[in-house]
Structure 1
């Protein structure tokens, strides 16, 4: 079995140590380590993190391979420092049966760049009318534990209650796309001053907040787990904070773009900024950062949403919603959370590895950097500064809101079970 010696890294941004990997496992952590025949990575000045875990990725396969495939998506994930991603169910066909989730799971196994855990649909065809085969998907080879109709809200309270009751039996979690559909008909961007000035249909904060309020109460009533996808408003933060104070089993995620970008960017009418939920106000951005820092929001998730050129290079109203995010997420978190003093690197490890792995039950991921643990690791150079060029992306799509923007940090190495998938910033 191969050996890798990482020398002089700041483990979780703290103590400088060497890490020896033997095969698929971390063999030793200490100082002055050596190993005959080992591949040596000189990591002075770099931060060593557990491999990142994304609880919210759209890989598009099967059905929209023009946007992304499991292979290209996992290559993008590895480039961004991820060793595991959870693939959303809004594929074609929808991942609402054991057969489809097993197909995605097997494609992930074949890719070899990061582990892929499928997310099963809550309802058949994402139509919100009838529960999908939750038990069969859980009992399949894919072992699904997270279920979501993301892209659509499970707006029927009875269906949502039944889903929460069903997954409780095996410790699963329902991940809700919180969007009251009647309040967002024709919505094009955040409802507020900017939407009024531009004459674009508004997506009000209450459309998100009302669903979150309902669902945390349902989770409390049932005694089940609910996870809030891409939380985006200051009001949503307060509802989740209140729910947690009552002991309700709720977790929440925020995307990198909601930590950095605001609805003021929509004044350009550039569809790259069109996303669901929409970019909100500066007040919301600051509230989201504080909530991620204090633990009200548990994790950062990318909501990586690739689209082909023709779906974005068009007029605003016709453009698809979504942004790619796997390859820039860690840099955005460094800029918005680490360089502002809101989180240290140990906090980043928690929000981007430990906590998402725990919520999604990603076996072997989100583990401490210590002897005997699986060697799923990410090395980042925090001193690096670079301008984002989508032509460099491993993703099949290029719809990034950061093109031409300087961001800090660069993933230099990603290691999946002792095998380097990224070496010196390039895919192995």
Structure 2
């Protein structure tokens, strides 16, 4: 979807469509392609870095003619490392080329709308000076003023949503890939960024949260999964019983509710949605009717912890894309557990006289420790209400009336 020509201008545009064509309204689709190219470039660079680390380990731990031949092949201009680097550059170029096409098309559409509007205004002025008769002239002016008023509302909406959003996305996509190829993009996107909307309604929140999610591969994947699996997402004020709850997922109806409160940011709500989509991925599991109380409570809290980890990783991705620090409620817990676990593992490896930990090993050790730390916080009855709440939920689901309802719903 993208910018459609205002309906009030379509008839007059028919006279000039050969000289002023209106491109297909596919700006959003093209921006998705841009993000796909950038994701590919990032993936190639990450793969190259991991392979290079493994290559370094092989070279340091071995010697001989075969190793020298392998090293020369790897580091040559035709080697795998260079080919991956070339592929990443090509993907970047494809992304920037597609992005500039989108920007130019949107600016062209703005120019066409402006020109057609000026022409329509000129026609109205011409009618005003012709001896057309008082009644007809009055009626014509009335209808034309209504036409211009409704058209102006539509144009303003497109400028606020389509042009500003497209240029804002263009700026964010280009930042961190290479120097901006056009000054006008930067100026327009800077101006668009100054006019960010609030989140006073479901539509406002949805637009702002999806904008944030679409900045990262993880966010885009989560949105795509939710659409593919028909998850309904609602943004609404919390009720009296929702005090302290950021969001919730209803397994029976496949609905996520994100609660809007004063002071919420699109970034914070996006993290909450990532957490709730993790619940949706595990719909109807764990099942309290098929498990003991302790087993159910433990499994449910582990799912909560996994959702927090997912939200934290999304926050990290967003920080890398924007190149700025963003607060996350579990950042200190995650980072501390991660760094301490890696530090201890390094010391143990040195003590055993083994080779240094690879980047992949450190990441695996750190993430496992961080996930455990997250679970430990949520499972502690002194610091978390989850043990009590999930225990009460288990008891409720095991009552005879609820058991019958569950079987009816199944």
Category of TM-score, reference length = shorter chain: under 0.3
> TM-score of the superposition, structure 1-length normalised?
0.23
Where is the strand percentage greater, Structure 1 or Structure 2? 1
If you compute each CA radius of gyration, which structure gives the higher value, 1 or 2? 2
> TM-score of the superposition, structure 2-length normalised?
0.24
Where is the helix percentage greater, Structure 1 or Structure 2? 2
